[in-house]
Structure 1
Amino acid sequence: MGYDQLPLNSLFSGADDALLALLSDAPAEAVERAHEYKILRNVLDGTPAAVAILDERLRFRFVNDAMARMSGVPPDEFHGRTMAEVLPGIHRSEDVLRMILGDGRPRALTVTGTTRVSSPFRHRQWSAVYHRLEDHGRVLGLCGVAVEVSGLRQYMDDLERAHQRLALLDTAATRVGTTLHVEKTCAELAEFVVPSLADRASVWVLDTEEVADLPPPAPGVLRLRVIASAGGADVVGRVGLTAKAGYYFDVPRDSPTRSCLDTGRPWVGNLASDDVLLKMLRTPLNVEVFREVGIHSVVALPLPTREHPVGFVYLCRAGDSAPFTDEDVVVAQELAARTAVAIDNARQYSLEHSMALELQRALLSEPGGPHPDIETASRYLPAGQRALVGGDWFDSMALPCGRTLQVMGDVMGHGFTAAVAMSQYRSLLRSIAATGAPVERILQEADHRLASIGLDRVATCLLALVDPHEGTCTFAGAGHPPPVLLHPDAPAELVHVSTGPPLGTDLGGYEALTLPLRPGTVLLMYTDGLIEDRRRDIDASLRRLTHLRLDLDGSLESVVDALLARLVHGTTEDDVTLLATRLRPV
Structure 2
Amino acid sequence: MVRWFQSFRRPATVDPLASGGGPEEDPGVRSRLTALRASAARIGTTLDENATCAELTREAVRQVGGTAAVLRAGSEAGEYEAVNGDPALLPDVRWAMAAAQETSAPGAAADPVPVLASGGARPALCVPLATGRHRYGGLVCARDRAPFTPEETGLLALLAERAASHIRHAQEHERVRGIVGKLQRALLAEPGRPHPNLDVAIRYLPVGQSALVGGDWCETVRLHFGRTLLVVGDVMGHGLEAAVDMTAYRSSLRSIASADLPPHRVLRRLDDSASAEPERRPATCLIARVDPNRGQVTFASAGHLPPAVIDAQGRTSLLAVPVGPPLGTGLGGYEPATYELDPGQTLVLFTDGLVEHRGEDIDHSLDRLAGVSFEATAGVEDVIDTVLARLDARHAEDDVAVLAAQLHARTQQDLDGRR
Query: What is the TM-score of this pair, normalised by structure 2?
Result: 0.70
Equivalent-residue separation in structure 2 for 1:428 and 1:501 (angstroms):
18
The aligned runs of 1:444-459 (5 Å cut-off) are 444-452=268-276, 456-459=280-283
Larger Rg: 1
Equivalent-residue separation in structure 2 for 1:296 and 1:157 (angstroms):
29
Question: What's the offset of the Cα at 1:500?
Answer: 0.9
2:201 aligns with 376
Residue in structure 1 matching 2:118, options 264, 267, 273: 273
Structure 1: runs of 5 or more not aligned: 1-154, 208-221, 244-248, 275-290
Write the deviation string for residues 399-450 of structure 1: whole angstroms up to 9, x where unpaired: 2233221222233446766544433322221122222222112112222343
1:353 and 2:200 aligned: no
1:581 and 2:408 aligned: no
Residue in structure 1 matching 2:335, options 496, 502, 511: 511
Question: What's the offset of the Cα at 1:520?
Answer: 7.0
SS in 2 for 1:432: helix
Instruction: Give the conservation status (yes or no) of the 8 Å contact 1:394–1:409.
Output: yes
Residue in structure 2 matching 1:428, options 252, 258, 276: 252
Amino acid at match of 1:427: S
Instruction: Give the conservation status (yes or no) of the 8 Å contact 1:201–1:242.
Output: no
Equivalent-residue separation in structure 2 for 1:515 and 1:261 (angstroms):
77
Write the deviation string for residues 532-552 of structure 1: whole angstroms up to 9, x where unpaired: 655656555555544556779
Question: What's the offset of the Cα at 1:501?
Answer: 0.8
Write the deviation string for residues 523-570 of structure 1: whole angstroms up to 9, x where unpaired: 443444555655656555555544556779777557656655653566
Question: What's the offset of the Cα at 1:376?
Answer: 1.4
Write the deviation string for residues 198-244 of structure 1: whole angstroms up to 9, x where unpaired: 5444445567xxxxxxxxxxxxxx989979422369669x994799x
Instruction: Give the conservation status (yes or no) of the 8 Å contact 1:463–1:476.
Output: yes
Cα 1:531–1:168, aligned 2, differ >3 Å: closer, same or farther? Answer: farther
Instruction: Give the conservation status (yes or no) of the 8 Å contact 2:315–2:374.
Output: no
Write the deviation string for residues 349-382 of structure 1: whole angstroms up to 9, x where unpaired: 3333332232232233242112233131222426
1:255 and 2:80 aligned: no
1:465 aligns with 289
Equivalent-residue separation in structure 2 for 1:363 and 1:308 (angstroms):
36
Residue in structure 2 matching 1:177, options 45, 59, 80: 45
Question: What's the offset of the Cα at 1:267?
Answer: 0.9
Aligned length: 383
Question: What's the offset of the Cα at 1:503?
Answer: 1.5
Question: What's the offset of the Cα at 1:518?
Answer: 5.8
Equivalent-residue separation in structure 2 for 1:326 and 1:425 (angstroms):
64
Instruction: Give the conservation status (yes or no) of the 8 Å contact 1:418–1:457.
Output: yes
Structure 2: runs of 5 or more not aligned: 1-25, 410-419
The aligned runs of 1:523-562 (5 Å cut-off) are 523-530=347-354, 534=358, 541-546=365-370, 548=372, 560=384
SS in 2 for 1:358: helix
Query: What is the TM-score of this pair, normalised by structure 1?
Result: 0.52
Question: What's the offset of the Cα at 1:478?
Answer: 0.9
The aligned runs of 1:47-58 (5 Å cut-off) are none
Residue in structure 1 matching 2:123, options 283, 296, 314: 296
1:311 and 2:179 aligned: no
Cα 1:452–1:156, aligned 2, differ >3 Å: closer, same or farther? Answer: closer
SS in 2 for 1:440: helix
Amino acid at match of 1:398: R
Amino acid at match of 2:140: L
The aligned runs of 1:124-523 (5 Å cut-off) are 165-170=36-41, 172=42, 176-178=44-46, 180-190=47-57, 193=60, 199-203=66-70, 228-231=81-84, 240=93, 255-258=102-105, 262-269=109-116, 272-274=117-119, 296-304=123-131, 308-309=133-134, 311-320=136-145, 322-372=146-196, 373-381=198-206, 383-384=208-209, 390-413=214-237, 418-452=242-276, 456-485=280-309, 489-490=313-314, 492-517=316-341, 523=347
